[in-house]
Amino acid sequence: MAKSASVQLLGSWASPFSNRVQLALKLKSVEYELVEEAFYVSKSDRLVKANPVYQKIPVLIHDEKPVCESLVIVEYIDEAWTGKGPSILPSDPYERAIARFWAGYIDEKLETASGDEEKFAVVGKVLEGFALLEEAFAKCSKGKAFFGGDEVGYLDIALGCFLGWVKVAEIIGGGKLLDESKFPGLAGWAERFLSHDVAKDILPDALKILEFFGKVQAARAAATTAAE
């Protein structure tokens, strides 16, 4: 995405929560600058100043005003750029509430991994809820391609940002997690989401993630050794 001085994202290409914000920005055709944060080594002064409460990525800075927490940022993007691109949240109040509920459910499964996006357990937490999310997809999509219906929406972004990590878990475990026989709705949705223009060039390749966090572990081990 082309750079814009008025919109910056403090994040990382390898963080699913940063990817979530990137997906929303791309869907709304908002130009931005991704400012890579080495969150696995230390907290930059810039990050601490922008997010003094949690001191974690992602943080969206729009006209020098920071917005924190990925789901909050996605909703902010939808409201701040109402005239650009499709709506992210459903227009119906009830459907909007349901979408927020399931997005909260997805992140609740990740609560124990807060601030440690690199942990493979993050994906495991999501997978525990696949059966319920399969039912949620059937109800929210109403037989259409995405949670948002005909087009990608809020829940597609909320869950879709983890699909790279699903593939990581499949590589590590040597088996298919989004099994079509068990989760036909979600499996079909995942394939469509990954091939959608909004996901291209944003969701990282699983092998690239594995390589990156191998380096992360080495850097942390070196830092621990140096501190001893």
The reply to whether 7-85 and 93-195 are identical in fold is no
pLDDT bin (cut points 50, 70, 90) of residue 114 is very low
> Is 123 a residue whose pLDDT tops 80?
no
153 with 99: CB under 8 angstroms? yes
146: left (phi over 0), alpha (psi -120 to 50) or beta: beta
3-state secondary structure of 62: strand
Residue 66 phi, psi (nearest 5): -85, 145
pLDDT digits (tens, 9 = 90+) for 21-49: 999 999 999 999 999 998 777 889 999 99
Separation between Cα atoms, residue 15 and residue 215, nearest integer Å: 15
Joined together, the tokens standing for residue 35 give 């400012």
Average model confidence (pLDDT) for the chain? 87
Residue boundaries of the structural domains of the chain: 7-85, 93-195
CATH number for the region 7-85 comes to: 3.40.30.10
> Is 112 a residue whose pLDDT tops 80?
no
Fold (CATH) for 93-195: Glutathione S-transferase Yfyf (Class Pi); Chain A, domain 2 (1.20.1050)
Structure pTM? 0.88
Q: Residues of the chain with pLDDT > 90: what percent? A: 65
Please return the burial class of 193, using the count of CB atoms within 10 Å of its CB with bins 0-12, 13-18 and 19+. Answer: buried
> Is 94 a residue whose pLDDT tops 80?
yes
